Structure 1
Amino acid sequence: MAARRKADQLIASGQVMVNGTPAVPGQQVTPGVDRVTLDGSPVEPVSTSTYLMLNKPVGVLTSVGDDRGRQTVVDHLPPGPPRVFPVGRLDLDSRGLVLLTDDGELAGRLMHPRYHVEKEYRVVVRGRPDDAALRRLSEGMIVRGERFEPAEVRVLDGADGDTRLSTNGKCAGCGKRLAIRCSICSACASMGFSLVSLPKATSVHSGRTR
C-alpha cells in the first residue's frame, strides 16, 4: 500500500490494474471481489480493525459498561485490545456467540434490517414437541401481544427428557431479535414446554459455539 500521492502516481503510470484493466484515479474496488495488481503482483488490503468472538455466559450484559456494576462482555475480553463494542445484543439470561469489533461500517451492515443477516438459536426445551407444536412455531403465533414471525424450526436431538431445537425466529413487533428469549419462552410455554436453555449458536456466519 502507498500514500495517496504515491498511489496516484502509480495509477497514472499504468502500473496498477483492476481486474486486468488499468486503474483510474478515484476508482472504487470491492475487497475480495475485485483483483488489484501492482506491476503484476496482487495487492492485498490491510485491515487495521479488530474482530473478536466471545461465547457470552449467562448473566453477562451485552454492553460496554453498566452503571449498576454488573459484568459486561467487555469484562470477559483479554487485556490490551483496542476499544471494541458488541454487534447487536444477546439477552442477559442467554448465552452464545457475540461479535465485538471497532469496525463501525461492518457493524452497521450486520445490524441494519435491509441486509437480512440471519441469527440461529439452539433452544433446549423440556419434553418432546410433536409435529403439531413444531408447525405452530414454524407458522408464527402471537406472543405477549407481539407476533412471533414464521421461522425455520428443526429438531436436532434429544436426551434425558429434553429436546434441542434450532430456530431463526424473531419478534415481529420490534423487527429485531432482541426479544427472542421472551418470545420463545412464551411460545413454548403456551404449548406446555418449559425452556431449559437458549444459547445463540450462530451470528453473521462467524461459526458455531455451544
Structure 2
Amino acid sequence: MERLQKAIAHAGVASRRKAEEMIKEGKVTVNGEVVKELGVKVGSQDKVEVNGIPLQREAPVYFLLYKPRGVISSAEDDKGRTTVVDYFENVQERIYPVGRLDYDTSGLLLLTNDGEFANVLTHPKYEVDKVYIAKVKGIPTRQQIKQLERGVMLEDGKTAPAKAKLVSLDKKKQTAIVELIIHEGRNRQVRRMLDSIGHPVLKLRRERYGFLTLHGLNAGESRELTTHEVKQLRAHAQSGSGR
C-alpha cells in the first residue's frame, strides 16, 4: 500500500505536488469514488483514475548508484541543486531514492519506482546492514569503539548495537579511518554517533547495502540490479538475514 499521490507520481502522470493538487481538486477517483483526502492509501488491486483515465502503473525498475558528495538524495530540489535522479536522464520511469544519504556523504544508494520494495528495505524491523567508512578527526580509543558497538545516546534515543572497528590511523595528521556497520536509518546517524564520542566525521562513504557493493563503479556511475539481486535483497530483508 502507498499514498495515493505517490502512486500517481510513480505512474508518471505528474509530480507528487501536482498529484496532491489534483486530488484536492476532485480529479482523482479510487474504485469509482472521488477522493479529496491526501492520506488515502491504495494497493495494486485498487482502480485509480485521474481525470477519468485509468492509472497505468509502470513496470518496476531497480538501480544502484554510486552517489557523489554534494548531491541531494531526492527526486527534486526546490533550490535547483543536483539530485540523484539527475543521473538517470535516460530512464523514463519516475524513480526515487530508497532512503537517503546526506548531501556530504557519498556511496551506495538504491533507486526504484517500486514502493513496496522501498518500504521493505527502509522499515526498521527488517534490519538491512549498511556499511560505512568514515574518516574522522582524532584517533578513537578501543573503549570508544566499544561504545559505538554497544550503542550511544543521541537526542532521538540510544542507537542499536552496531559493529565498529578502527581500520587505520595517521598519528601525524591525527585522523583515523573507522568502519561502522548499522541497520538503523536515522537522519545523519553515523555522523552523530561519531560526534557523540568526540570524533567528528571529515569524510563519509557508504560501502555496502545488504550484500550489494560499489564494485566496478566510480562516483556518479550506476547500474541496474539483476532480477536475482532484487529477489535476494527482498528475501534477505524480510527474513532478517539482511544483516
From 174, 186, 192, the counterpart of 1:183: 192
**Whole-angstrom CA distance in 2 between matches of 1:135 and 1:201:** 21
The one of the two structures with greater contact order (alpha-carbon pairs below 8 A, sep at least 6) is 2
Structure 2: which 5+ residue stretches go unaligned?
Answer: 1-58, 220-243
3-state SS of the aligned residue for 2:212? coil
Q: TM-score, normalized by length of structure 1?
A: 0.65
The alignment covers a number of residue pairs equal to 156
Q: % of aligned pairs identical?
A: 31
Cα RMSD of the aligned pairs, angstroms, is 2.3
Which structure 1 residue ranges, 5 or more long, are not aligned?
A: 1-47
Cα contact 1:118–1:168 (8 A) shared by 2: yes
Query: Cα deviations across residues 158-209 of structure 1 (Å, max 9, x unaligned)?
Result: 3454321111247xxxx633231442242242xxx23211111111322136
**Distance of 1:142 and 1:92 partners within structure 2:** 24
Q: TM-score under structure 2 normalisation?
A: 0.57
CA deviation string 1:115-162 (max 9, x = no partner): 221211111112322211111221222234632332110222334543
1:142 counterpart letter in structure 2: M
Contact preservation (8 Å) 2:98, 2:118: yes
Cα distance change, pair 117–132 in 1 and its aligned pair in 2 (3 A):
same
Provide the secondary structure at the position in 2 that maps to 1:198: strand
Which structure's residues are more often helix, by fraction? Answer: 2
Query: Retained in 2: the 8 A contact 1:148–1:169?
Result: no
Task: Indicate whether 1:137 and 2:143 are aligned.
Answer: no
* Residues 47-87 of structure 1, C-alpha deviations (whole Å, 9 max, x = no match): x5322111112221111001222221011224244221111
1:165 to 175, 178, 199: 178
Name the CA distance, whole Å, in 2 between partners of 1:186 and 1:162.
14
